[in-house]
Amino acid sequence: DKGGWSSFMAKEVAEQPDAVANTLRGRIVDDAVVVPELAAFGDEALAGIRRIVIIACGTAAYAGMTAQYAIEKWARVPVTVELSHEFRYRDPVITDDTLVISISQSGETMDTLMAVKYAREAGARVISICNTQGATIPRESDAVVYTHAGPEVAVASTKAFVAQITALYLFGLHLARVRGSLSVEEQAEQVRELVAIPAKIATVLESSATVAQLAHWMADTRAVLFLGRHVGFPIAMEGALKLKELAYIHAEGFAAGELKHGPIALIEPGQPVFVVVPSPRGSATLHPKVVSNIQEIRARGARVIAIAEEGDAAVLPFADEVVRIPLAAPLFEPLLAVVPLQIFAMELSIAKGLDVDQPRNLAKSVTVE
Ligand code: F6R
């Protein structure tokens, strides 16, 4: 039931504040993160982990790439992120102090299921992040942390993505607590940021009309580029994936620092480029670098759409459009910056007269390898 919305995707995009809030529920105790499912897995076992490998596909893999920054920063454990189908077939080194985390909305993705089975046979313990109660991947795992995004019907993943990042952040903070790598005050600070996210996503949703308008102007665009840096990098790739699958437009997400190593050659007059701009307060070193990337592409004629923090005036002289997101600590910006990109892809799909909920050639869960 679309509940009055024009599509399941529109409904699910709007449900993102709840998806995050429901995923947090029952997992925060006195400003500290205590995930009951992880406590059951064993805090001692978690404290002994030397390496984390995250496996997932598509949007779920971008959630993993986003969380990699936070988990390493908070828990000081090396984290790598791999596509399930690559991991499984390259004879990876798995030791018994390796923790594998799988991420899957459906819990039925065959590539990820096979990778989970493979990892366990090789001696790793597997914790799964999943949105579907009783699905196959959770049954094959040592522990499950459910995302409580509610059923996701539209083929393009939206609310599951923000819920996955939320669950992974909870994991990271739980791990940091058992490892003692963050002070009580540092933990409380991150928890405060996390619980403020639902209201901030709601604010981003209120300004969605601007992005919608932009999409309708760009209905005959042939290619769109997305740039981001640090946690903005996986968000750039997620923005590009949404656009490919929903609007059938060639789209690429790049790390902004890669620009001069190749992709800048793609910039020609009129080329639309979305740039996820890091906070000038939170990322004092990266913000000017990304602003200078914007200047470089603007000088070559790019049409720049900046996703920037409220009050960031540095982008104004160079951006053609600025989409504002509320202030948040750097690691939490992805949960806000992704929303305008989802809406842009959805609206461009609508502008082209396509089926937003059921893009061609795609299935909601990919149960074949
Ligand atoms: C993109 C999308 C896919 C899925 C991927 C993994 O919008 O929906 O990329 O994210 O197929 O699916 P799950 O999370 O069910 O394993």
- 59-91: pLDDT as tens digits: 999 999 999 999 999 999 999 999 999 999 999
pLDDT of residue 364 exceeding 90: no
Tell me the helix, strand and coil percentages in the chain, rounded to 5: 50, 15, 35
Does 364 participate in catalysis according to the annotation?
A: yes
What is the pTM (predicted TM-score) of this model? 0.98
pLDDT of residue 363 exceeding 90: no
- 301-344: pLDDT as tens digits: 999 999 999 999 999 999 999 999 999 999 999 999 999 999 99
Residue 360: pLDDT band (50, 70, 90) is confident
Q: Look at residue 365 in the predicted model and tell me its pLDDT.
A: 84
pLDDT of residue 368 exceeding 90: no
Q: Look at residue 108 in the predicted model and tell me its pLDDT.
A: 96
Q: Look at residue 366 in the predicted model and tell me its pLDDT.
A: 85
pLDDT of residue 285 exceeding 90: yes
Q: Which atom of ligand 1 is nearest to the CA of 112?
A: 16
Residue 54: pLDDT band (50, 70, 90) is very high
The mean pLDDT value for 234-244 works out to 98
Contacts 24+ apart (CB under 8 A), 87-92: 87/53, 87/55, 87/115, 87/118, 87/119, 88/114, 88/115, 88/118, 92/53, 92/122
User: What are 73's two structure tokens?
Assistant: 């920063």
- 112-153: pLDDT as tens digits: 999 999 999 999 999 999 999 999 999 999 999 999 999 999
User: What are 221's two structure tokens?
Assistant: 């665009």
How far, in Å, from the CA of 249 to the mean position of ligand 1?
Answer: 18
Q: What is the Cα–Cα distance from 345 to 245, expressed in whole angstroms? A: 9
Q: Amino acid identity, residue 192? A: R
How far, in Å, from the CA of 286 to the mean position of ligand 1?
Answer: 30
Q: Look at residue 82 in the predicted model and tell me its pLDDT.
A: 98
Q: Look at residue 207 in the predicted model and tell me its pLDDT.
A: 87
- 183-237: pLDDT as tens digits: 999 999 999 999 999 999 999 999 888 999 999 888 889 999 999 999 999 999 9
**169-207 exposure pattern, b = at least 16 Cβ within 10 A, e = fewer:** bbbbbbbbbbbebbeeeebeebbebbeebbebbeebbeb
Q: Look at residue 40 in the predicted model and tell me its pLDDT.
A: 87
ipTM of the complex, rounded to two decimals: 0.98
Question: In the structure, which protein residues have their CB atom closer than 6 angstroms to any atom of ligand 1?
Answer: 57-60, 104-106, 109, 112, 156-157, 241, 245, 365-366
Nearest CA to ligand 1 atom 11: 58
Q: Amino acid identity, residue 141? A: S
What angle, rounded to 10 degrees, do the helices at 159-179 and 16-24 form? 30
Q: Mapping DSSP to helix (H, G, I), strand (E, B) and coil, where does residue 36 land? A: helix
